[in-house]
């Protein structure tokens, strides 16, 4: 997750990119400016009526899904099976708290490459086909996995697997930011595998790199979808799901501003049905990979751990471990139920033999 309370623009030489995140204080984050013109808000008043130029028909489709939501016990059985022990194990493998040997998943480290290959293998075992998308010299690749269907319509669920540590430290476990999102994706994938779920649309599970340097991985991937004229019905980014202030209930925050509102309403209503244990609210916490999708006019939103501002004291810190007070694996599982139910509903699904 990137943060930006006050924005400014600047220019840096590309050789500085690999270390830019480490040169800046932790409260400052980098978002690269788009290389292509952004759709102008209200560019075509008939078809777009949101700030991001997302065509109206996608907002309408999501609003219709929201209107028609009703509890489906067979869907609940699938999402309720997301397993906290598996999720914890996967998160701790990524952080190096389990003996994976990963010290950092910073985009320019060998730990990031090791994580990418391991993630790819895990998701392939669930029947997806995965590719390592090398988009820029020096950056670890995105891991892009597709569940088989030749529908031209796509539903995308993502997280970023790269991490950031404290200034001057090589250790970057990133348990919350964003092994929580990546582990949640692996939890969803594991449930898809166990229930042999088949989707009626092309479901993509994406693990981005280069997020902490300015959303580079997701920009490359969203740009690829745009350039190849893919239709995206919904994109959900999961970034920082694990932490809430000790004593607070489990929460799900949706973006207050950076989102297609109909996408967030849909996810919020899905949460009420399938994860009633979560207190749904909103956050101004800013900047993650869904922004790359929105900038290109795709319907997108984000799920986040806490209503209100970022409260994680270990944010962008080498102490971002999962063994600590406030880090709540049950909350990650509860949010995984919501994102999984959301993609199942929008993509359409059946249980295989
Ligand atoms: C889609 O895939 C199925 C099997 O996976 C195949 O039978 C069908 O012909 C394909 N349809 C198109 C339009 O490619
Ligand atoms: C793809 O989706 C269609 C429905 O749109 C479904 O009939 C078909 O079985 C799916 N294919 C696969 C390989 O899951
Ligand atoms: C449910 O959807 C409606 C719009 O249909 C929206 O006003 C409401 O805020 C949503 N609820 C949640 C919890 O997101």
> Computed from CA positions of residues 304, 190, 106, 135, in that sequence, does the dihedral angle turn out positive or negative?
negative
The pLDDT of residue 18 is 66
Q: With 70 as the cut, is the pLDDT of residue 32 above it?
A: no
Q: What is the number of the ligand closest to the CA of 307?
A: 3
Atom of ligand 3 nearest to the CA of 271: 13
Domains by residue range for the chain, with CATH: 47-351 (3.40.630.10)
- Both tokens assigned to 338: 């919501």
The pLDDT of residue 310 is 94
Asked whether 147 and 203 are in contact (CB, 8 A), the reply is yes
HSE of 4 in the Cβ direction (CA atoms, 13 Å)?
16
Write out pLDDT tens, residues 200-216.
Answer: 999 999 999 999 999 99
Asked whether 208 and 221 are in contact (CB, 8 A), the reply is yes
Q: Which of 347, 227, 239, 326 is nearest to 283 (CA)?
A: 239
Distance of alpha carbon 55 from the chain centroid: 22
The pLDDT of residue 112 is 98
Placement of tokens 């759709």 in the chain: 39
- Ligand 2 near 276 CB (within 6 A): no
The pLDDT of residue 45 is 41
The pLDDT of residue 313 is 95
Atom of ligand 3 nearest to the CA of 264: 14
The pLDDT of residue 20 is 73
Placement of tokens 């297609």 in the chain: 260
SS3 content of the chain, % helix, strand, coil (to 5): 35, 15, 45
Q: What is the number of the ligand closest to the CA of 338?
A: 3
Distance of CA 193 from the midpoint of ligand 2 (Å): 16
Residue nearest to atom 6 of ligand 3 (CA): 265
The pLDDT of residue 27 is 65
Write out pLDDT tens, residues 128-154.
Answer: 999 999 999 999 999 999 999 999 999
Q: With 70 as the cut, is the pLDDT of residue 178 above it?
A: yes
Q: Which of 45-49, 182-186, 313-317 has the lowest mean pLDDT?
A: 45-49
The pLDDT of residue 229 is 95
Distance of CA 198 from the midpoint of ligand 1 (Å): 14
Query: pTM of the predicted model, to two decimals?
Result: 0.90
Q: With 60 as the cut, is the pLDDT of residue 87 above it?
A: yes
Q: Residue range 33-52: average pLDDT?
A: 55
Q: With 50 as the cut, is the pLDDT of residue 291 above it?
A: yes
Write out pLDDT tens, residues 240-257.
Answer: 999 999 999 999 999 999
Burial string for 118-137 (b: 16+ CB within 10 Å, else e) reads: bbbebbeebbbebeebebbe
- Ligand 3 near 65 CB (within 6 A): no
- Ligand 2 near 198 CB (within 6 A): yes
- Band (pLDDT 50/70/90 cuts) for residue 21 is confident
Q: Which of 145, 142, 98, 149 is nearest to 125 (CA)?
A: 145
The pLDDT of residue 81 is 98
Distance of CA 274 from the midpoint of ligand 2 (Å): 25
Q: Residue range 265-279: average pLDDT?
A: 98
Q: What is the number of the ligand closest to the CA of 252?
A: 3
Relative orientation angle of helices 84-95 and 180-194, to the nearest 10 degrees: 140
Residue nearest to atom 8 of ligand 3 (CA): 265
- Ligand 2 near 97 CB (within 6 A): no
Residue nearest to atom 12 of ligand 2 (CA): 149
The pLDDT of residue 306 is 96
Atom of ligand 3 nearest to the CA of 67: 5
Where are the extended beta strands (E) located within the chain? 129-133, 142-147, 153-160, 197-199, 202-208, 231-238, 251-255, 279-283, 300-303, 349-351
- Average pLDDT over all residues of the chain: 92
- Band (pLDDT 50/70/90 cuts) for residue 1 is low
- Band (pLDDT 50/70/90 cuts) for residue 44 is very low
- Ligand 2 near 249 CB (within 6 A): no
The pLDDT of residue 353 is 75
The pLDDT of residue 55 is 95
Compute how many other C-beta atoms are within 10 angstroms of the C-beta atom of residue 194.
14
- Band (pLDDT 50/70/90 cuts) for residue 158 is very high
């Amino acid at each position: 997750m990137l943060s930006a309370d006050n924005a400014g623009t600047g220019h840096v030489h590309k050789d500085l990119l690999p270390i830019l995140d480490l040169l800046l204080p932790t409260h400052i984050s980098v978002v690269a400016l788009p290389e292509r013109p952004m759709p102008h808000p209200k560019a075509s008043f008939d078809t777009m009526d949101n700030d991001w130029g997302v065509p109206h028909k996608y907002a309408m489709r999501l609003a219709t899904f929201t209107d028609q939501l009703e509890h489906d016990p067979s869907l609940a059985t699938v999402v309720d099976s997301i397993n906290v022990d598996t999720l914890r194990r996967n998160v701790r493998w990524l952080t190096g708290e389990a003996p994976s040997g990963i010290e950092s998943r910073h985009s320019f480290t060998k730990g990031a490459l090791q994580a990418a290959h391991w993630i790819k293998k895990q998701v392939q075992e669930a029947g997806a086909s995965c590719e390592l998308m090398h988009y820029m010299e020096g950056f670890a690749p995105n891991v892009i996995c597709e569940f088989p269907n030749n529908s031209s319509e796509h539903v995308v669920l993502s997280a970023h697997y790269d991490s950031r540590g404290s200034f001057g430290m090589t250790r970057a476990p990133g348990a919350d930011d964003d092994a929580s999102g990546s582990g949640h994706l692996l939890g969803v994938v594991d449930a898809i595998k166990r229930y042999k779920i088949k989707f009626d649309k092309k479901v993509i599970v994406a693990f981005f790199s280069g997020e902490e340097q300015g959303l580079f991985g997701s920009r490359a991937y969203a740009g690829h979808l745009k350039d190849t004229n893919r239709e995206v019905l919904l994109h959900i980014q999961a970034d920082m799901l694990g932490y809430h202030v000790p004593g607070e209930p489990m929460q799900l925050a949706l973006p207050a501003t950076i989102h297609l509102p109909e996408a967030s309403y849909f996810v919020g209503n899905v949460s009420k049905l399938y994860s009633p244990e979560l207190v749904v609210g909103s956050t101004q916490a800013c900047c993650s990979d869904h922004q790359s999708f929105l900038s290109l006019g795709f319907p997108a939103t984000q799920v986040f751990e806490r209503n209100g501002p970022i409260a994680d004291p270990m944010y962008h810190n080498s102490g971002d471990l999962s063994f600590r007070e406030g880090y709540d694996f049950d909350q990650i599982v509860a949010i995984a139920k919501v994102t999984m139910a959301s993609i199942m509903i929008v993509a359409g699904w059946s249980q295989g033999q």
